[in-house]
Amino acid sequence: MASKASYPTITADDHKRYMEYAIEQARLSPPEPTKFCVGAILIDADKNEILATGYSKELPEHTPTDPESTHAEQCCFIKVAQKHNLPEDRIGQVLPKNAVLYTTMEPCNKRLSGNRTCVERIFRLNGAIKLVYVGIKEPEKFIGENVGRK
C-alpha cells in the first residue's frame, strides 16, 4: 500500500479533484474488451486524508472462478484490510467515522464472475462508509442495468 506521502494533497471538499484522482487510478487499469477500467479513492473526510486507492484488476483475488477480477472499490478495501491485518469484511472496525468513497463508475450490484458485489462489500461494512461519490452510471454493456447507485 502506498504511503501517505505518495498521495496528492487535495483541498477538503474538492470533489472534482478527488474524482480526477480516481480517474488517474482508472487509467492504471489494464484495458480489456470484457471489463471497464474503474478507479476508486477511499478517504477520511474529517481529516481530508486518502486512506487507499484502487483500480480494476490491480490486486489478485484468489477465487477459483476468476482469480484476477478485483474491482477498484474492492482493491481499496483489501489495502485497508492488509494494513490492519484484518479480513476485508471487518475493516469497518478501523475505518474513520466519516469514511467516503469516490469511484469513477457506480459500484456493481451484479458480477458475472460470481464474486461478491461492490454494493454488498460496502453494506457489509455496517455503515462505515458514509457517502459514495459516483462518476458515471455503469453502461449496460455487460450485465444490463446496474442499480448499485440505488
Instruction: Catalogue the active-site residues.
Output: 73
Kindly compute the dihedral angle of the four CA atoms of residues 90, 96, 97, 103, in this order, to the nearest 10 degrees: -80
Q: How far apart are CA 53 and CA 89, in angstroms?
A: 17
Is 56:42 a contact under the CB 8 Å cutoff? no
Which residues neighbour 94 within 8 Å (Cβ) at sequence distance 6 or greater? Answer: 80, 84, 86
